[in-house]
């Protein structure tokens, strides 16, 4: 058939169709738009739009504010009354951009809440460890992001606190879960291509910002930490800050996998004695032992860590092997663990310098723990700077 035999398009009809399509798209967007800026925006009409994403026949009758916690994000717990089935949660945990201006500045530029929202929308289903139930998430550049999860306490789980001090037995459970997570993505090029956005421009921007601000923030944090950080570490920490880009290249040059990158005890929850992970704002591809270093340095008292560190590293190696990862060298793993201890040290000192990200007393306790770990293992010496 010749092209000329097809009927010509009627511009009036096309205009009407385009207009109708635009109107339908706009109506759908208005019905499902869940972006919110403040806890006060989380009313029954807003909750109805969340529920509409799951079942349009369910009616939300009431929303009660339970708690508000302001840190790197504004974390809001709400109770939602609706006439739907039990499969739609009635206790929600909502993450909004931080109401603390310093924290918002630090987290907004690299789009941390945007990253976590995209993680739950696109990647969470591939993660082999326990996560909170996902209700909805929406992200718009320049407009903000809103993430709605099931409150883990509704199912009887307990959320951790950043200054929790875990027993060795509980730490071993977390280590095994981290090994399962890391093994799932370990050097798998197909998964890295599928989730390539995790290593994209947004992560590069975050790394550039971290490097640009490393020296002034490290100086400020060391000064505010005072005697919590042994004086010999000050010069080593400043040298690290000045050469942060080089240090980051060294820490990222080993087997690549999906890492949480913020494994302190406040980002854990416990359900029937088993751990799950919260707060995936910093998720990326990196070296798995970095998660282990962050966790052991922050979640254990120095005494427990010293007594059980070697055994917990052995458990990590054993579980990786059980999950099919071959040729794990224990000594190499230990040396990489040493090197990666510098990142939780930096993270906690910078958090203190910025302010408003963690409660000051908690921040200081975590600095105490990580500083002792860095000093014990001479961590800065493990990075060739």
3-state SS assignment for residue 1: coil
171 and 40 housed in the same domain: no
Q: What percent of the chain has pLDDT over 90?
A: 80
In a domain, 9, yes or no: no
CATH number, residue 97:
3.30.200
Same domain, 121 and 171: no
Quick one: pLDDT at residue 201? 78
**58 shares its domain with 198:** no
Are residues 294 and 251 located together in one domain of the fold? Answer: yes
List, for residues 273-293, the tens digit of each pLDDT value.
999 999 999 999 999 999 999
Within this chain, do residues 164 and 236 fall inside the same structural domain, yes or no?
yes
Task: Please check whether residue 45 lies inside any domain of the structure.
Answer: yes
The torsion defined by the Cα of 195, 259, 185 and 202, in degrees rounded to 10, comes to: 20
Task: For residues 341 and 362, state if they share a domain.
Answer: yes
Q: Round to whole Å and give the CA distance between 154 and 141.
A: 32
- 181-214 as b/e, with b when 16 or more CB fall inside 10 Å? bbbbbbeeeebbeebeebeeebbeebbeebbebb
How many separate domains does the chain show?
Answer: 2
| Confidence at 240, pLDDT banded by 50, 70, 90 | very high
Q: Is the pLDDT of residue 2 over 90?
A: no
Top-confidence residue, 171 or 8 = 171
**Burial tier of 253 (Cβ tally within 10 Å: 0-12, 13-18, 19+):** exposed
SS3 content of the chain, % helix, strand, coil (to 5): 55, 15, 30
CATH number at residue 374: 3.90.1200.10
Both 148 and 167 in a single domain?
A: no
Q: Do 207 and 319 sit in the same domain of this protein?
A: yes
Pairing of strands 158-159, 268-271: antiparallel
Of the pLDDT bands very low, low, confident and very high (cuts 50, 70, 90), residue 329 is very high
Looking at the fold, whether 143 and 177 belong to one and the same domain comes out as no
User: Residue 318: what pLDDT?
Assistant: 98
Q: Does 324 map to a domain?
A: yes
Answer yes or no: is 75 within a domain: yes
Q: Which residue bears the tokens 């579980």?
A: 319
Q: What's the pLDDT tens digit per position in 64-107?
A: 999 999 988 999 999 999 999 999 999 999 999 999 887 777 77
Both 194 and 337 in one domain: the answer is yes
Q: Is residue 26 part of a domain?
A: no
Domain-terminating residue out of 152, 186, 220 = 152
* 210-229 pLDDT tens trace: 899 999 999 999 999 999 99
Q: Is 125 inside a domain boundary?
A: yes
The whole domain housing 265 covers 157-382
What pLDDT was estimated at residue 13? 45
When pLDDT is averaged across residues 353-378 and rounded to a whole number, the result is: 96
Report whether 336 contacts 182 (CB < 8 A). Answer: no
Boundary residue ending a domain (110, 131, 152): 152
- 346 and 240, same domain (yes or no): yes
Looking at residues 148-168, what average pLDDT do you find?
97
**CA separation for the pair 222, 104 (Å, rounded):** 22
Question: Within a domain: residue 110?
Answer: yes
Domain termination residue (choose one: 152, 173, 191): 152
Distance CA 95, CA 188 (A): 31
Please tell me whether residues 84 and 146 are part of one structural domain: yes
């Amino acid at each position: 058939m010749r092209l000329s035999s097809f009927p010509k398009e009627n511009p009036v009809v096309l205009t009407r169709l385009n207009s109708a399509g635009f109107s339908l798209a706009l109506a759908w967007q208005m019905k499902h738009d869940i972006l919110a800026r403040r806890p006060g925006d989380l009313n029954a009409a807003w909750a109805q739009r969340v529920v509409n994403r799951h079942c349009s026949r369910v009616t939300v009758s009431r929303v009660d504010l339970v708690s508000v916690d302001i840190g790197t994000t504004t974390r809001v717990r709400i109770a939602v009354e609706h006439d739907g089935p039990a499969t739609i949660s009635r206790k929600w945990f909502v993450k909004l951009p931080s109401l603390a201006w310093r924290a918002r500045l630090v987290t907004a530029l690299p789009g941390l809440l945007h990253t976590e929202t995209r993680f739950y929308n696109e990647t969470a289903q591939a993660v082999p460890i326990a996560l909170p139930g996902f209700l909805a998430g929406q992200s718009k550049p320049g407009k903000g992001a809103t993430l709605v999860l099931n409150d883990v306490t509704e199912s009887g789980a307990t959320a951790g606190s950043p200054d929790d001090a875990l027993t060795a037995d509980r730490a071993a459970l977390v280590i095994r879960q981290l090994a399962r997570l890391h093994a799932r993505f370990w050097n798998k090029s197909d998964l890295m291509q599928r989730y390539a956005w995790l290593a994209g421009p947004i992560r590069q921007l975050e790394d550039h910002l971290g490097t640009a601000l490393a020296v002034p923030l490290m100086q400020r944090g060391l000064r505010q930490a005072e005697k919590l950080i042994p004086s010999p570490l000050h010069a080593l920490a400043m040298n690290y800050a000045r050469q942060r880009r080089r240090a980051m290249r060294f820490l990222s040059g080993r087997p690549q996998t999906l890492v949480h990158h913020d494994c302190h005890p406040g980002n854990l929850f416990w359900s029937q004695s088993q751990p799950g992970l919260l707060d995936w704002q910093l998720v990326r591809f990196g070296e798995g032992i970095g998660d282990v270093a962050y966790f052991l340095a922050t979640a254990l008292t120095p005494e427990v860590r010293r007594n059980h560190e070697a055994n917990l590293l052995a458990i990590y190696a054993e579980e990786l092997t059980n999950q099919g990862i071959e040729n794990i060298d224990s000594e190499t793993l230990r040396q990489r663990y040493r090197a990666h201890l510098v990142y939780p040290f930096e993270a906690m000192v910078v958090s203190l310098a910025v302010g408003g990200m963690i409660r000051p007393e908690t921040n200081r306790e975590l600095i105490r723990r990580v500083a002792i770990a860095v000093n014990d293992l001479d961590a800065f010496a493990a990075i060739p700077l």
